[in-house]
Amino acid sequence: MPQFNLASLLDDSVKRYAERTALVLGPHRLNYADLGASTNRVANLLVARGIKPGDSIALMCPNLPQFTIAYFAILKVGATVVPLNVLLKRGEVRYHLEEAGAKALLAFEGTPELPVGAEAVAAAEACETSPDVLIVTADPAAASGFEGIETLAAAAAGHSPEFDTVSTDEDDIAVVLFTSGTSGRPKGAELRHRNMRDNALAARALFDIDPSRPDTYLGVLPLFHSFGQSVVQNAAVANGGTVVMLPRFEAASALASMLRESVTFFAGVPTMYWAMLHALDETVDGAGLAARLRVAVAGGSALPIEIHREFEARLGVTIAEGYGLSETSPVTSFSRLGEPVRPGSIGIPLPGVEMTLLKPGSWHETQWTPDAVGEIAVRGHNVFRGYRGRPDATAEVLRDGWLRTGDLARRDEDGWYYIVDRAKDLIIRGGFNVYPREVEESLMTHPDVSLAAVVGVPHDSHGEEIKAFVVAEPGAELKASELIDWAKAHMASYKYPRLVEIVGALPMTATGKILKRELH
C-alpha cells in the first residue's frame, strides 16, 4: 500500500511557508518554522519515552497551540492520536484510556472551574495499564502542579528540533475518535491517515481555498472533535493558513478575535451562530467583519433558516451547511459555497464520496421519489476502518464499503440531501453529542434510582436540553434537585440532565421497551 503520514501536511507547510503565522493565541504567535520545531521536540520526547509506531496516545487539551503541537508530534512518531473531551470526569477518562489501550496521556493542567488535569491524573492512576502522563500547561514555563509528573514543555525542552517523520502506511490508524453512535458506551472509531488527509484536502475545492492567498480561521470548534480537527486545524495546516485559537466559545470574544485578526474563515455549530448574531450589536464593527469574512460553514445539527437569512443579511455571507459524523472523518456532504440557501439541506456529497438512501432496517436502496425518506449510507475515501476491538459493532454498520449512518433523509431532483430526523434517541446539546443510554446507566448507579429514561427537549440556545424521567426505588425520597446535583458531579457538564422529573412509571411496550416518543 502507498506510504503516507498525516503529519506530512505539517512538514510540507513548514518547508513552503516557514515564516507564515500558523497559530495565534491572544498576543502570542507561532510561525510554521517554530511550530515544526516544537512538534519535533515533542516527537523526540515521545520516542525517548518508549513510544513506538502503532501505539495509542491520548490527548486531553482545549484549543491551545499545545494541542496542535502534540497532535502532529504523535503522528510523526507513527503513533495514533486519541483526542479526549476535556469535560470528561475521571471514570469516563479511565474508560477511554483502557478502551484505546493508551500508552500515554497528555493532559491540560486545568483550571479551578475545569480541573482537567486532576481528573486525568486520577484516571491514569486507576488504569491497569498505567499510562505515562505529561501535563500540558498554558504557560510553557509553568510547573506541573502534580507531584512526580513533568510538564510537556519541560520534558521536551532538551530534545532536538529536528525529526524525520516516521513512514506509515496510508491505511494505518492516525486517529481514534470515540463515539457512541446512537446508544451504548462510547466506541473508538478508527480513522486512517488517508481518511483524515482526504477530508482535510477536500476543503480546497469545497471552499475555494488557495494556499497562495491563505485563510485565517477562527479555531473555536473543539479540536478534540473531528469537525474542528479536519475543517479547521488540518485544512489550515495543509494550506498554509493561520488558526486563531479560542479555548472556549463566548460570542463577544469570538467577534472581537475575528475583527482583530481579520478572520476569513469561520466554522461553527448552529448555537454559535445564534449567539454571535445576538452579540452583533451597535458596539461591534459589523461592516469590518463583513469585509473580511470569506467563508462561513456550519455543521453538528440543523441550522435554522432564520439564522441563515439573518447572517447573510448582516454580514453578506451565505452559510454553507454540511453533514458528517466521526465515522466519516467527519465531512460527507456540503452545500455549494455561494449558492442560495436550500432550507434544511446538507448539500451534495464530497468528490469521491457516494451517498444513497436505504430502506430503514435493510441494506436495500429506497426507490427514489421527491418525498422518499431513507437512512443515509455513505461510501468513499472518508469512511472509517471500524470500531476498535468491536467487530460485531463494525459489522452492523459497514458492508461492502457502505456505512449506515442511522440518520434519515430525503433527496431532491438535483441530488441535494435533506435531514429528516437524527439517529434514534441521539441528543445534540450545544453541538455536543449526548447519548441517552450512557446518561441513563450513570443515573441508575444512584442508590435511589430504580429506572431512568433520557430524552432531548427543545431549547432556544442549546438546540436541545437533556431531560431525565426517573422512577425512584420503593420507599426512597428522591428529589429532582438533589439528583441533578449528583449527576453534575458524576458526568461531564454537557451530559448531565438539567431537567429531572420523578415519575411513578414509564410508558412501555408489551416487551418492556420504554416508549420514548411518549416522553417527548
pLDDT digits (tens, 9 = 90+) for 456-497: 998 888 889 999 999 898 899 999 999 999 999 999 999 999
Distance of CA 108 to the CA centre of its chain: 17
**Every domain range in the chain assigned CATH 3.30.300.30:** 427-519
Residue type, position 319, single letter: I
Q: Which tops the pLDDT comparison, 31 or 128? A: 31
**Percent of the chain scoring above 90 in pLDDT:** 77
pLDDT for position 510: 38
pLDDT for position 360: 77
The full 3-state SS of 320-344, as one line of letters, equals EEEEECHHHCCEEEECCCCCCCCCC
pLDDT for position 509: 46
C-alpha cell at 244: 486563531
pLDDT for position 439: 87
**Every domain range in the chain assigned CATH 3.40.50.12780:** 32-193, 202-421
pLDDT for position 453: 87
pLDDT for position 423: 56
pLDDT at 323 over 70: yes
pLDDT for position 499: 96
pLDDT for position 305: 77
pTM given for the model? 0.85
Best CATH choice for the domain 427-519 from the list 1.10.357.10, 3.40.50.300, 3.30.300.30, 3.20.20.80? 3.30.300.30
- Torsions phi, psi for 216 (to 5 deg): -110, 120
pLDDT for position 213: 96
CATH placement of domain 32-193:
3.40.50.12780
User: Which of 149-163, 204-218, 301-315 has the lowest average pLDDT?
Assistant: 301-315
Q: Is the dihedral of CA 328, 419, 434, 461 positive or negative?
A: positive
What average pLDDT does range 78-103 have in this prediction? Answer: 96
Helices 270-279 + 251-260 axis angle, to 10? 80
The span from the CA of 86 to the CA of 224, in Å, is 8
For the chain, what is the mean pLDDT? 92
pLDDT for position 520: 75
Q: Quick one: the chain helix, strand, coil %, rounded to 5? A: 30, 25, 40
Residue type, position 336, single letter: R
Residue type, position 314, single letter: R
Q: Which CATH architecture has domain 202-421?
A: 3-Layer(aba) Sandwich (3.40)
Distance of CA 410 to the CA centre of its chain: 25
pLDDT tens string 5-58: 999 999 999 999 999 999 999 999 999 999 999 999 999 999 999 999 999 999
pLDDT tens string 233-269: 999 999 999 999 999 999 999 999 999 999 999 999 8
pLDDT tens string 189-213: 999 999 999 999 999 999 999 999 9
What average pLDDT does range 305-312 have in this prediction? Answer: 85
pLDDT tens string 412-463: 999 999 987 555 677 888 888 787 777 887 898 899 998 888 999 988 888 8
178 CB contacts (<8 Å, ≥6 apart)? 82, 84, 96, 99, 100, 186, 187, 188, 189, 326
What average pLDDT does range 79-95 have in this prediction? Answer: 95
